Amino acid sequence: MTAITSSLRDITFEQQLAQRQRRGKILEIAALIAILLGIAMLLTLLVDVVIDGLPWLRPQLFTEFPSRFPEKSGLRSAIQGSIWLMVFTSIMVIPIGVGAGIYLEEFAPRNRLTEFIEINIANLAGVPSIIYGLLGLGLFVRGLGLGRSLIAGALTMTLLVLPIIIVTTREAIRAVPRSIRLAALALGASQWETARDHVLVYSMPAILTGVILAMSRAIGETAPLITIGALTYIAFDLRGPLDIFTVLPIQIFNWVSLPQKGFHDLAAAGIIVLLVLLLSMNALAIWLRNRLFIRW
């Protein structure tokens, strides 16, 4: 600035410049406050939960069934339910979701019907989960007569995460450059060979990431499982897919709704378990993304 001789100085411009920079600064501070607010709320929640729940994070929490007495209560049946629910849901949703994604992206003819299906899948991903609960109740619990079983819950969860998996699979597949497909086809590969040995292989890390994130959503879902009648008081080990079951968030919900203070703290401990589970799944997804993704 000082190097500019006074005869060349543009006073109006300089005044405006100062004002423009001030305005930028104000917005910057506003944005900073916004992020701090978000972090502060999250931290408050975490600190509060940890203070209440930490003393209850003891072996019995994992080995005991729920009970009338907080000291004797644990998450044994809920953890079993959550894990098996994830296992059965994964077994069903991964082949169907990834298969549907591959079909839509690599093989489906570009026509009105495909477009219609695509729009609907995108919309399904945004449908409130309780709707899937009602569908599961009508279709699996009553229609197929599966009752309030683990398999009915897994089928409901499959419906819930299927659109998410299809959408993430398609995005992962679309990230594989067209030039790779052309290279394979030009060697005399069929479309299926191209999809199997190249497109699917190179998009697999991204697909896996999507699957893990979808599953971490499913593990926290409560509403659809309550709708299909997953129980809160299960005092025995899971015996099979047709058995009744409960899951972590339902158990937590149940404890919170009880009057005794002990159960509230127990619920806080349950929240810690659920959070650790969710964060590890997300961390795994991030690790996969950083380690295995191909940089084109």
- Which residues of the shown chain bind other proteins in the complex (CB under 8 A)? 110, 177, 179-180, 182-190, 193, 197-198, 202, 294, 296
Q: Is the dihedral of CA 224, 226, 227, 233 positive or negative?
A: positive
4 — phi, psi (to 5°)?
Answer: -80, 125
Report the distance separating Cα 94 and Cα 168, nearest Å.
Answer: 11
Quick one: 189 or 258, whose CB is closer to other proteins? Answer: 189
Quick one: 184 or 226, whose CB is closer to other proteins? Answer: 184
Residues 6+ apart with CB under 8 A from 216: 277, 278, 281, 282, 285
Quick one: 5 or 179, whose CB is closer to other proteins? Answer: 179
- Closest contact distance (angstroms) between CB of 175 and other proteins is 12
- Closest contact distance (angstroms) between CB of 195 and other proteins is 12
- Closest contact distance (angstroms) between CB of 98 and other proteins is 20
Quick one: 6 or 179, whose CB is closer to other proteins? Answer: 179
- Closest contact distance (angstroms) between CB of 187 and other proteins is 4
Is the Cβ–Cβ distance between 245 and 84 less than 8 Å?
A: yes
Quick one: 67 or 191, whose CB is closer to other proteins? Answer: 191
Is the Cβ–Cβ distance between 245 and 238 less than 8 Å?
A: yes
**227: Cα within 13 Å, side-chain hemisphere:** 19
Which three-class secondary structure string do you get for 231-294? Answer: CCCCCCCCCCCCCECCCHHHHHHHHHCCCCHHHHHHHHHHHHHHHHHHHHHHHHHHHHHHHHCC
Is the Cβ–Cβ distance between 232 and 78 less than 8 Å?
A: no
Q: Which residues pair with 244 in a beta bridge?
A: 149
Task: List C-alpha distances in Å: 94 to 21, 27, 285.
Answer: 52, 44, 16
- Closest contact distance (angstroms) between CB of 166 and other proteins is 22
- Closest contact distance (angstroms) between CB of 2 and other proteins is 46
Quick one: 178 or 239, whose CB is closer to other proteins? Answer: 178
- Closest contact distance (angstroms) between CB of 176 and other proteins is 9
DSSP 8-state class, residue 57: -
Quick one: 110 or 291, whose CB is closer to other proteins? Answer: 110
